[in-house]
Structures are given as C-alpha cells and as structure tokens.
Amino acid sequence: MKKKIKVSIFGATGYTGIELYRRLKVRDDIEIVDLPSKSSPGKKYSEIVGSIKSISDEILIEWNPEETVKKSDIIFTALPHGETFDIAKACKIYDKKLIDIGADYRLDKEAYNKWYGLEHRESALIDEAVYCIPELHRDKIKEGTWLIANPGCYPTSVQLGLAPLIDAGIIETGNIIVDAKSGVSGAGRGLKLATLYSEQNENVNAYGVGIHRHKPEMEQHLQQYTDDNIKIMFTPHLMPMTRGIHSTMYATLKKDISEEEIREVLKDKYKNEYFVKVLDKGIMPHTKWVYGSNFCHINVVLDKDTGNLVILSVIDNLVKGASGQAIQNMNILFGIEEKKGIENIPLIP
Amino acid sequence: MKKKIKVSIFGATGYTGIELYRRLKVRDDIEIVDLPSKSSPGKKYSEIVGSIKSISDEILIEWNPEETVKKSDIIFTALPHGETFDIAKACKIYDKKLIDIGADYRLDKEAYNKWYGLEHRESALIDEAVYCIPELHRDKIKEGTWLIANPGCYPTSVQLGLAPLIDAGIIETGNIIVDAKSGVSGAGRGLKLATLYSEQNENVNAYGVGIHRHKPEMEQHLQQYTDDNIKIMFTPHLMPMTRGIHSTMYATLKKDISEEEIREVLKDKYKNEYFVKVLDKGIMPHTKWVYGSNFCHINVVLDKDTGNLVILSVIDNLVKGASGQAIQNMNILFGIEEKKGIENIPLIP
Amino acid sequence: MKKKIKVSIFGATGYTGIELYRRLKVRDDIEIVDLPSKSSPGKKYSEIVGSIKSISDEILIEWNPEETVKKSDIIFTALPHGETFDIAKACKIYDKKLIDIGADYRLDKEAYNKWYGLEHRESALIDEAVYCIPELHRDKIKEGTWLIANPGCYPTSVQLGLAPLIDAGIIETGNIIVDAKSGVSGAGRGLKLATLYSEQNENVNAYGVGIHRHKPEMEQHLQQYTDDNIKIMFTPHLMPMTRGIHSTMYATLKKDISEEEIREVLKDKYKNEYFVKVLDKGIMPHTKWVYGSNFCHINVVLDKDTGNLVILSVIDNLVKGASGQAIQNMNILFGIEEKKGIENIPLIP
Amino acid sequence: MKKKIKVSIFGATGYTGIELYRRLKVRDDIEIVDLPSKSSPGKKYSEIVGSIKSISDEILIEWNPEETVKKSDIIFTALPHGETFDIAKACKIYDKKLIDIGADYRLDKEAYNKWYGLEHRESALIDEAVYCIPELHRDKIKEGTWLIANPGCYPTSVQLGLAPLIDAGIIETGNIIVDAKSGVSGAGRGLKLATLYSEQNENVNAYGVGIHRHKPEMEQHLQQYTDDNIKIMFTPHLMPMTRGIHSTMYATLKKDISEEEIREVLKDKYKNEYFVKVLDKGIMPHTKWVYGSNFCHINVVLDKDTGNLVILSVIDNLVKGASGQAIQNMNILFGIEEKKGIENIPLIP
C-alpha cells in the first residue's frame, strides 16, 4: 500500500480551512496530521465546526509551527496575512512543502509592504514562491518548488478570463474595469457587524473601491503577458449569498476581431482543461452553475454599440477561489492526478 | 371634507401593482375604485395576494378600460409593454390622468418600435407624455400634463447618479459603463424557471448584456444634458434578493476636478430633496439602507490610479424604481405634498 | 397646534430600537428627544444604522437615565434584560411613562429571578406594570398605568392564538406544544458566530428546547383564562430569514366541537380588530403576508385522525412582536387612534 | 477491468435527477446510458441544467421505457407519482433492477389509491418492492430484490429518529406529533407561484397539515416495530432555503427512562453507521451541518416539565432524503461499498 501524504492545516476552523479539510479527509492517499489552533487548542474540531460531527472527533492542537511542520509532508496555511512567516521559515528549514492559501507570498516585497501595511518578515522566501493558477501557470510547479502562493479568489476569476486575451494582444490594458460580486463567505468567519445575517440579507454594497488588496495581485500577475502597462479599476461588491464570485470585466479592443474569434481564443486556451469551461454564444455564466465545485465558467460579449468587450467569469470563491485550487496545486506538486478530490460536479440546486 | 381622488389600478396583482395598492389604500385622500384583472376577474384580490388579507376583501373586476376610466380621476397601469394602448386612449378621450409604470411612453416612437419589437398603436400620445423622475424633471409636470411615463427601475437609479454630472460637464459621455445589480422582484411575478427560489438562491448572473431595453431609455433621457453623444454600456445582473438595485457606474472625467468637488455638485443638486441623499466620502451605498422606501443613496469614488470616476447609486426597485415614484408623480400632478404616502424610513433590518 | 409627545429611546441602535425610531420619527405628533447610547455616545445615529442616513443627523447622547427621563413624556426601553432598573426608577420618581420592550417587567418576581438568573432590583415596580397585548388586555391600560411591559415576540404570536381558545374552554392546557420558527433578527444585533450570514443561510435549528425564557411568560399570562394548570412545551427554531415568527401549536380538545366552530370563536373574538385576522378554512398563514407590519394572521386545523387541534399564528417579530405593539400600547396610553403609525399594509414581496 | 454498471435515469432534469446524475457521473464503476426526457428530447442536458455545462454534452433522448430498460442494468426513476408503471413493468419483463425515487411503490395498494387518488396500474409489483432506509432495512435488500421503493424525504428523517424508540418500546405511538421544516427544493422544479424566489424568500408557511402523503408512509413503515396503533400528526412547513429538512417530533414516554438512556438507545442503534450521527446532550442538529451530504444528525431532549420527549432529526432532502439514499440502496443491491459516491462531508458554509 502506498504511503499516505501527511498533511497539516493551519487555520482549519475558518471557511477555507473547512473546505480544505472536508475534501482531504475523505481521500485514501492523505493522512491529516495536525490541526493547530490558536484560539481553541484542546477542543474538538467538531465543536467549532458543526458539520465535522458527521465524520470525526479530531482535537485541535496547540499552535507550534515547528512541531507540526516536522511531522508533516505538506502544510496548508489558511490564515490572515502576516501569520505565516514562522510557518514558512520552518518549512524551509525542515524541507517541507507549503501551500499558502493566504496572501503572504502573492505579491513582490515592495507591493506587499505597501498594500498590506506590514513589513514582510520572510521576504526572501517570496522569490522562492510559485504563484499558481494551474490552468495558467502549472508549468512553474513542474519546474520544482516547495512553496506555492495560492491565488486570491477575485484574482483567480479575473485572470482566468483576462490572461488569454491579454496574451493574444486582443484587449487594451491601460484601464480594465473589473466589477466583481462575491458571496459573504469571502469575508471570513470572524465576527463583524457587516456580515451578520440580518445586515447582509437583502443587501448589496460595494467596498474597497479601487483600494482592495486583490487589485495589485491581478495587475502584477497579468503583467507577464504584455509589455503594456496593466491598470485595473477594481470594484468588489458583497452579495446576499454564501458562496460564489461573479466577475464582470470591461475592456476595449486593441485590434479588429469578432466576438466569435475572441471566444475561440478562450476555447482553444482551455480546450484540454477539466475545470475551465468557455460557454457558447449568449449563455451567461451563473455562479450557481459552479457552486461547491472547482469549475470556472467564462463567456464574452462584444458590444458593438460602445465597443466594449465584456468578459464574464464565475467561480466558487471557497473552491476554485481558495481550497479547491490549493488541492489542485498540491496534486500537481505531488504528481497526483490533478483533479483528484475536486472533480465533483457543482451542487445544484 | 375634501373629496377623495378616485384611483384605479390596472395590473394590481403584479409586484409593482401590489406596492402601489398597499401605499394608496391606507391614505385618507384616496379612494380605490377599480382593480381590473384579465386573468382573475371575480376573485378576491386577497386570494391572489396573501398580504391583502390583512386589509381588504376587494374583488378584482372585469377588464373594461373604458368603464374603469370613466369612473376614475387617475389611472395607474402596471402592465407589460404593449398593454396600455387602449387604456391611454380612453384616458385621452375622457380627459382623465394616467401614470404608466410600464414602458409604453418612455421612448420616442422609433426607439420604442425597435427596442420593444412592436408597433406602438398610440404613438401620437408619446409626445404628450411627460417622462418624470421628480428630482430631475418635476417642472415638466407642473407645466401641465395628463400622461406621465414613469421611468424604469434601472434608469431611475442611473439618471439620479449621472444627470447632474453630465449637466455640469464633468464626465465624458461616449462610453459610460453601467454595471447594475437587481433583486429578483424586478423580473416580475410571472412563472419562469429562472426566478424559482431554488434556481436563484445563491446565484448571480448577468443577462441582456448590451441589449436590455433600459439602455435606450437611459441614453435618450440623459441626452438632454449635453450636446455630446451619450453611449451607455449596460450590464444588468440578477441577485439572490427580492428588492433593491445597485448601479455601479464608470466614467472618465472631462475636466480636472477632485472627488470632493464632484460630490459637492451632487450634494448641491439634491440639497433640498427629501428622497435623494449623497453620502459622505468613503461611505458606500447599501441597497438595504433604502429597502422598502422611496429613497436613493448616491456616492462617488475617484480612482486616481486609473482615472475612473465610480458613481454608486441604490434604490428599491419597486418603490423609487416603480410605484413609489409613481405616487410621487401623482402627488405632484395633484398638487399634494410630494412625499405623502411614501415618506417612510427604510425597513431595517 | 397640539403639543407633541416627547419620546426618548434607550437602545435605539438595536433592531427593535431601529424599528421603533423609523415609525415614530415620521409622525407629526411625536418629537424624539434623546437617543442615549452606552457604546457610541457622541456619534451620529446614522453612522451606526445606515438607513438613518435617509432621514436624520441625530447624535447619540450620553447614557444618563435621569436627565433623559426628565426631558421626556414617555420612555421606550429596547434593552437586554436587567438594564432597565434605573430607568424605571427614574420614570417612577419623575412621573413619566415607560414602555419596556425588553423582559424586565413581564414575569412575577419569583419567575423573573429564576428564569433570568438575576435578582430584580426594582421588583416592587413589577406589580405596577401592565403586560399588554392590546387585543387581549387593552382594558388594563385604560384603567390607568405608567409602566407597560411589552410582551415578547413568541408570546405575542402564541397568546393571540391560544387565549380565546383557553378562555372558551375548548382546549386542554396541561400539555400544549408550541413549535415556533423565527427569523434571525430575533437574536438581536450583537456579534455571535451563530448569526453570521454564512452560518445561518440555508440553516434551520432548534435552540433552548423547553428552557427558553418565553415559556414562563406564555404560561403565566395564559393562566388568567383558566383554573386548570397551563403547561407549554416550547421549542423555538431559527430560520434563514430576517423577520417573521410562525408559531405552530398543538393541543387536544376539551369538548366536542368542530373546526368551523373553533374558527368562529376566533373570528368573533377578533372581529373588530384591525391587526388580527383569522383566515378562512384551509388558508395557511404565511410570515411574508405580515412582513414589515403589525398584523397577525391566525388559522386552525382540526385533525380528525389524531384528534389534534393545530393553531397557526404568524407575526413580524420586530413589529407586532416588539416595536409595533409598543407603539400600539403607547397610542392607547395617550388616547391616540390605536393604529396610528403602524397601520401600514405588509411589504410584499 | 471490471465491467461498469449501466445506469439510466428517468427524470434527470428535476432536482432529484440532477443530484443523482452529478454523483453517478464521476464514478468509475458506472456508465450512464440513457437520460430519457418527455419534454425536451433531442436537447442537450446541459441546456436544461446549467451546472452540467461543467461536465458533459449528453443529449436527452426520447421517452421509450422499453428501449431504455433493455440497454441498462439498473433504472432510477425520479418522477411524479403515477409515471413509473410502464417502466417498472419493463424492468420486470427484462429482469432489470429499478430504484424508484418517486412514490409509486412505498405504500400498500389500498393506501396508495386513497392517498394518491389514483388506481395503481402495476399494484402486483408493490409486493415485490423493498422499501429501504438502509440503516433500518438493509437486510431486506440483501435477501434479494429487483425493485426498491426509495423512501420519501420527510419519512426518512422521521423514521431514523423514531424507529429505534418505538422498537425499544420507549414512546407512546397513538399521537406522535411531527412538525417538519423543508427547503424549497422539496417542492420540485415545476413552475408554481408559491416557489418563486420573491414569494418564498423571507417566508415560512405550513401546508398539507394532517393530509400530506408522507403521513401514511411514516405510519405504515413504523408499524412494523410495534403492535400498538401508530398515529402521526404531520405538519410540513416550507422554509426560505433550498435544501434541508428539520423534523421536530414530540412523543410521550411509555416507560420511565432518562434522556441519557434514550440517547444511548439511539447511539447504540447507529454506532456502526457512517451516515447517522446521534449528537451529544444539548447539541441541537442544524440542517446546514448535513448540507449537500448523505448524513443524518439526531438528538433528543426530554422535557421534565411537560413530560414530552422531543426528537430532532436533520437531513439534506435531496441526498439522504432522495438521491443519496437511492445510491446507497444501489450500492447495497450491487454489493458495492455502501458509501461509495456519497461519502462526502457536508458543504460548509
């Protein structure tokens, strides 16, 4: 019998941590080793996360990065920014793999310090990190790495839509408008007035207009496809739903090309991908069509009247936008079939 | 005692009709005369609309425009497009007032025929109609009219945000992007798979991208403020909520001006308005903050990095976006205090 | 011009406080004097409650019961239990009226101490308090009082359904089962994991089974209608919605009587009431049919197969179950038309 | 390589059919053969069910029971009652297996005719059918059968809670009250006013009080555990959520026994079951804790004040309450590991 991969999760009681656990726990090739907790060590995991009562009596253990790292083959961190520095250092020292679902290795040092308002304590490791949306960057993992910066939820949906179009020189990049709509789970499991049921039900509002931290992430990682300057106007909105991101993007064309030809560029790019589907003309993506799954649906509309190309892209923020993609990255890292554990069809209705 | 205004409603069993009825029924200056119904004449209104059980036993009567018009001082039509022609004609003949909450008198004849795919049978009356968002056009009612074209829900939220900025020559008008999010009630009470609870819960999707009928309505009625050509890229989305519209609009500046100065232009424009509030810097409008009310909240963000001005505007689609505004228009038409019957503070939570 | 009634609200930033304010603020016979706040004195009310931006710039003031009471004709308290003692004392001293929407004057002293786990510091005042659901107890206010104990949300829906049946000797009272379902706003505006959007969306759960504090309130106040002992099995549930309570009650018959006769007893009891409607045979109450209103809908089903009488009663927990009823009580107290300010028809959809 | 099981689904475009397909499609031991459709033959499945775009281009074929049955090893029917008669007959003739997720083989002939108002055309087959909740009746499948009557959603949640208690002689059975709350998906994908988003959002209502067709199903299949007459008062309610059933059941004790002892009876009964979890004292089941999974959570509360035993049971109506259980039954029928394809941990949040 093949040896199981030993996995530990820092941050298992948050929403991305839960999604990670529920998918890894039922796999026969993985053993979950440690679930360290700062706030509730010694408690049952199922006491903090009700659904876990279905499956296990695991105990959350003390937060001791070095000890946990030593026992594991791979570490997942699903933590607020700034909380992975010691964990990454330990992984480096003990030669273990790390997938950071948080934001600590997505930006270059300068941008990190500016946008996260925090001095990066392990900034040398940023250069060793591979930022990876598999459909765009999986080759970089195959070149070898121990540290993967798992992309943000909004940036995943946006880059899957825009990268092939920028790469093909189809759209102008100096003022791409990204109007994104997210379910409330994207705001995390912390206690905030704004995410109470009675506050967010029947409510839509924008937040962080032009200043959300996912803006520099999109710009930095899309820059590789062009010599032109990438500038993104990013407006995220909270929606009264739990899961799902819908990114509606607006760009002007750089060359004369039809909607059909543009769609063909996307279809061709993703023709061998299990998780990314480019829809047929006139079929608009629905967040519900990817709910609870690692899929991404994309389509484009070319508006002749104004000259805008509208790119629409939907994902489940906790799966393709976080933990599903992290597992996809782990599978690549370990040479496992890429879709293992995340192949499920969306949950409808 | 003052004589009551005699009101009849065509389309009382749809969502805008219900909102109209619930606000007019409790007024002491109004008498509801007829509620004609094509599908359920002879039935109790409360049989079709459960909440009405609280208040009345009125019977839906036969659909006979001429008879109903003769008995009434004013008619409200809350009907699908193309269904008001005979009613409008009867109002004209019998010298009665008409407020059409539907779409039959909002566009000029040519645009109507093109966008609604229908020959307008009473197109001569279009020229007699006053299209009226009171905060923008109330003077036109005061000049005298019998026929008011009540604006669409999306166009109301959009024009309240854009009109003062176009009028002041602040924004370029050749490619204004309007990314709008609407609650499901905007899709009406008809039976459609897409508006079933289990289909729309936990779902966001765009529809009618670039081809929604509210696009020419916005363009036509904003054109009065500028000699430049107005072009709007309009992308509506359905949200998993019942009421509310959030319009996020993107424009580039025509002149050098600060965010504060732009906000001041809006604040100045609406300084005496009860229903339109321009929020302070950094406070983003929430649809819930206007839920169940006739209010509109607006704010702007100037993004220095990309040069975009973002204008955000929220209303309740069934109140300020339909029946509340219709009552506001009626109040003006009859010289009643403009906010009578619609002055209520939003329903929170 | 008639002098306005001077009202102050302790707890204006909670959900019941907001509902109270939004209804009182637009009345022409009321002046809102003080909005004292423990947590945010000096801040604008609209900063804490977004919808208030529509209407006012009032400032929350320091928490000084004596000062506030002296300036007011009537005080509303919408506070957690145990926080009204000093306010009530001040009202007594300065001869002002008080309506406590909280729980401090609903139970006799012994029951209060037991169920609320707290020594009542002003228990002498309990005897002066009138517990009042107007449709059941309005005469007691008319006999004269200064202190009204506004009933709890669940107990209001339950007593409106059961009181006439117990009074008429129709049902056995030794084991009445009350299975109640409430919207999340009933859990208040405090920060709790259980009331986060992502936790409560798509969720139903029971809580406080048999030990909820509204159980003794129902039992104590229903006892007046019978010499038999009243025992209630009370199971409240949280529903994924903001407002609304649906109480489903099960009792066995004490005498031979038909469903029609039982419905007639209820219809007769409420025949002159504006707010309570007994529905026709087979029409089940819907919480949405009373949403945002002070109405209560009731019906009964007699199940011949098992002998159970099912009584179904719905209200909006924040209106008839809290602030709407408080205003109804205030109107009675001041001899104003009982439905003033709360007469609105439910908000549909 | 092992031969795949050939499966066809009648009713694949309804909610239970979709759930069935999404779970079977990704299995390596199953081949989906036919998806017959009465309303949309020739169309792509993904055209009718958006989420299917993620995975397949299968075409819905003509409705020809005999042809489909001949090609398949096992048939699933997810159809309205009365629509499986010809399909069952064909399965009998061609010696194929059938799992009916619908209601046609759950009741004895007499009860079927009475409660479904329909003459059963293949009533002889009812006697050959095995009604199977695996945790209660899996031995009957192992004795051999070709036709499984998959239990209804409400009856599954109810029987899992009650069967061990009746079997152990713990509760009186003459008047068990079942107050159940269901998500809207239980009402199906047909177009009905009552299941429109805007009608059911923020709404709770009871329906079919005492006369729902799941009542005789519960009574008939619980009768096997006792000689006493089983009588159930069944009140189902619709909740504003998509998935989930919460059954709150009330019974009186037949013997002197503590809450702990009763819980122990349940824990013992289910101690080797993967899908049924009896929660610890004081932990109330949440429908969200089993969302999107085949799990059932159960707990009990003994209320000393009234003598009631409250039994609380939650499932996902489309999984354990329909298609998940159908797959569990298929696995047993074919000697496959019982949890294959349905082992996933609930989707949280």
- Residue B1 is predicted with a pLDDT of 59
The answer to whether the beta carbons of residues D43 and D20 sit under 8 Å apart is no
Is A136 in a helix, a strand, or coil? helix
Looking at the structure, tell me whether residues D190 and D117 fall in a common domain: no
* Run of H or E residues at D97: strand D97-100
The two structure tokens encoding residue D89: 């007959």
Looking at the structure, tell me whether residues C92 and C190 fall in a common domain: no
Looking at the structure, tell me whether residues B212 and B244 fall in a common domain: yes
Q: Domain boundary residue among D92, D116, D131?
A: D131
pLDDT above 80: residue A171: yes
Please report residues of B whose CB lies closer than 8 A to that of C19. Answer: 348
- Residue D1 is predicted with a pLDDT of 59
pLDDT above 70: residue A1: no
Give the span between the Cα atoms of C319 and C296, in whole angstroms.
Answer: 10
Asked whether residue B336 is domain-assigned, the answer is no
Q: Do A345 and D290 touch (CB under 8 A)?
A: no
pLDDT above 90: residue B194: yes
Give the span between the Cα atoms of D241 and D239, in whole angstroms.
Answer: 6
DSSP classification of residue C180: E
Looking at the structure, tell me whether residues C70 and C215 fall in a common domain: no
**Over the stretch A82-121, which tens digit does the pLDDT of each residue have?**
999 999 999 999 999 999 999 999 999 999 999 999 999 9
- CA quadruple C278, C284, C289, C295: dihedral sign: positive
Looking at the structure, tell me whether residues D100 and D217 fall in a common domain: no
* Cross-strand partners of A5: A30
Give the span between the Cα atoms of D312 and D310, in whole angstroms.
Answer: 6
* Cross-strand partners of C313: C247, C298
Asked whether residue A341 is domain-assigned, the answer is no
The alpha-helical segments, DSSP class H, found in chain C are 15-24, 45-48, 65-71, 85-94, 109-116, 134-142, 153-167, 197-200, 214-222, 259-269, 324-333
Which residues touch C221 (CB under 8 Å, ≥6 apart)?
C106, C131, C151, C155, C159
The reply to whether D296 belongs to the active site is no
pLDDT above 90: residue B56: no
Looking at the structure, tell me whether residues C89 and C47 fall in a common domain: yes
Please report residues of B whose CB lies closer than 8 A to that of D184. Answer: 196-198, 201
- Given CB atoms, is C346 within the 8 Å cutoff of chain B? yes
Q: Domain boundary residue among B96, B131, B166?
A: B131
Please report residues of A whose CB lies closer than 8 A to that of D345. Answer: 21-23, 25-26, 51-52, 54-55
Give the span between the Cα atoms of B119 and B112, in whole angstroms.
Answer: 8
Mean pLDDT in residue range D32-46:
97
Give the span between the Cα atoms of C120 and D257, in whole angstroms.
Answer: 37
Residues of A (257-316) whose Cβ lies below 8 Å from B: 284-288, 291, 301, 303, 305-308, 310, 312, 314
Q: Do A241 and B204 touch (CB under 8 A)?
A: yes
Quote the domain boundaries for residue A92.
5-131
Mean pLDDT in residue range B203-209:
98
Give the span between the Cα atoms of C53 and B267, in whole angstroms.
Answer: 14
Q: CA of B223, closest CA in chain A: separation in Å?
A: 16
Give the span between the Cα atoms of A222 and D241, in whole angstroms.
Answer: 39
- CA quadruple A183, A187, A189, A195: dihedral sign: negative
User: At C70, which amino acid appears?
Assistant: K
Residue-wise DSSP of D211-231: T-THHHHHHHHHGGG-SSPP-
Looking at the structure, tell me whether residues A184 and A307 fall in a common domain: yes
- Residue C106 is predicted with a pLDDT of 98
- Residue C80 is predicted with a pLDDT of 96
In chain A, what percentage of residues exceed pLDDT 70? 100
Report pTM.
0.97
The two structure tokens encoding residue D185: 């998906």
DSSP classification of residue D197: H
User: At D109, which amino acid appears?
Assistant: K
- Best residue of C173, C182, C201, C203 to probe chain D, by most D CBs closer than 10 Å: C203
Looking at the structure, tell me whether residues B45 and B166 fall in a common domain: no
- Residue A81 is predicted with a pLDDT of 96
Please report residues of B whose CB lies closer than 8 A to that of C346. Answer: 22, 51, 54
- Tokens 């425009």 correspond to B65
The answer to whether the beta carbons of residues A116 and A95 sit under 8 Å apart is no
* Run of H or E residues at D199: helix D197-200
Distance of CA D304 to the CA centre of its chain: 33
Q: CA of A44, closest CA in chain C: separation in Å?
A: 17
The strands making up C147-149's β-sheet, listed across from edge to edge, are: C30-32, C5-10, C74-77, C97-100, C147-149, C130-131
Q: Do B198 and D202 touch (CB under 8 A)?
A: no
Asked whether residue C139 is domain-assigned, the answer is no
Give the span between the Cα atoms of A40 and A59, in whole angstroms.
Answer: 9
Asked whether residue B147 is domain-assigned, the answer is no
The CATH number of the domain where A251 resides is what? 3.30.360.10
- Best residue of D13, D193, D197, D348 to probe chain B, by most B CBs closer than 10 Å: D197
Mean pLDDT in residue range B19-44:
97
Looking at the structure, tell me whether residues D313 and D170 fall in a common domain: yes
In chain B, what percentage of residues exceed pLDDT 70? 100
Mean pLDDT in residue range A119-148:
95
Residue C1: pLDDT band (50, 70, 90) is low
pLDDT above 70: residue B288: yes
Looking at the structure, tell me whether residues B123 and B178 fall in a common domain: no
Residue A54: pLDDT band (50, 70, 90) is confident
- Residue C264 is predicted with a pLDDT of 98
Output the average pLDDT for chain A: 97
Give the span between the Cα atoms of B7 and B18, in whole angstroms.
Answer: 14
**Over the stretch C19-73, which tens digit does the pLDDT of each residue have?**
999 999 999 999 999 999 999 999 999 999 999 998 888 999 999 999 999 999 9
pLDDT above 90: residue A184: yes
**Over the stretch A187-225, which tens digit does the pLDDT of each residue have?**
999 999 999 999 999 999 999 999 999 999 999 999 999
Looking at the structure, tell me whether residues A116 and A168 fall in a common domain: no
Give the span between the Cα atoms of C7 and C97, in whole angstroms.
Answer: 10
Residue A138: pLDDT band (50, 70, 90) is very high
Number of folded domains in chain D? 2
Looking at the structure, tell me whether residues C179 and C245 fall in a common domain: yes
Distance of CA C77 to the CA centre of its chain: 13
Which residues touch A315 (CB under 8 Å, ≥6 apart)?
A153, A156, A157, A160, A244, A245, A287, A290, A295, A296, A321
Mean pLDDT in residue range A247-275:
98
Q: Domain boundary residue among A131, A163, A189?
A: A131
For chain D, the residue count is 349
**Over the stretch D192-230, which tens digit does the pLDDT of each residue have?**
999 999 999 999 999 999 999 999 999 999 999 999 999
Mean pLDDT in residue range A122-130:
95
Give the span between the Cα atoms of D285 and C272, in whole angstroms.
Answer: 43
- Best residue of A45, A54, A298 to probe chain D, by most D CBs closer than 10 Å: A54
**B to D CB pairs, distance under 8 Å:** 56
**Over the stretch C64-114, which tens digit does the pLDDT of each residue have?**
999 999 999 999 999 999 999 999 999 999 999 999 999 999 999 999 999
How deeply is B59 buried, as exposed, middle or buried, from its count of CB atoms within 10 A (0-12, 13-18, 19+)?
A: middle
Cα dist from B125 to B84, B98, B129, B146, B149, whole Å:
11, 11, 6, 10, 11
Which residues touch C25 (CB under 8 Å, ≥6 apart)?
B345, C32, C55, C56
- Given CB atoms, is A206 within the 8 Å cutoff of chain B? yes
Asked whether residue D331 is domain-assigned, the answer is no
Q: Which residue of B has its CA nearest to D49?
A: B199
Query: Among C201, C243, C310, whose Cβ lies nearest the Cβ of D209?
Result: C310
The answer to whether the beta carbons of residues D219 and D247 sit under 8 Å apart is no
- Residue D2 is predicted with a pLDDT of 78
Mean pLDDT in residue range C296-309:
98
Asked whether residue A85 is domain-assigned, the answer is yes
The CATH number of the domain where C26 resides is what? 3.40.50.720
Range from A127-136, D53-62, D138-147 that averages highest in pLDDT: A127-136
At residue B284's C-alpha, the angle toward residues B278 and B286, to 5°, is 95
Q: Which residue of D has its CA nearest to C197?
A: D349
Q: Tell me whether the omega of the peptide bond preceding residue B349 falls within 30 degrees of 0, making it cis.
A: yes
Give the span between the Cα atoms of A306 and B229, in whole angstroms.
Answer: 11
Asked whether residue C10 is domain-assigned, the answer is yes
Asked whether residue A259 is domain-assigned, the answer is yes
Global ipTM: 0.97
**Over the stretch D66-123, which tens digit does the pLDDT of each residue have?**
999 999 999 999 999 999 999 999 999 999 999 999 999 999 999 999 999 999 999 9
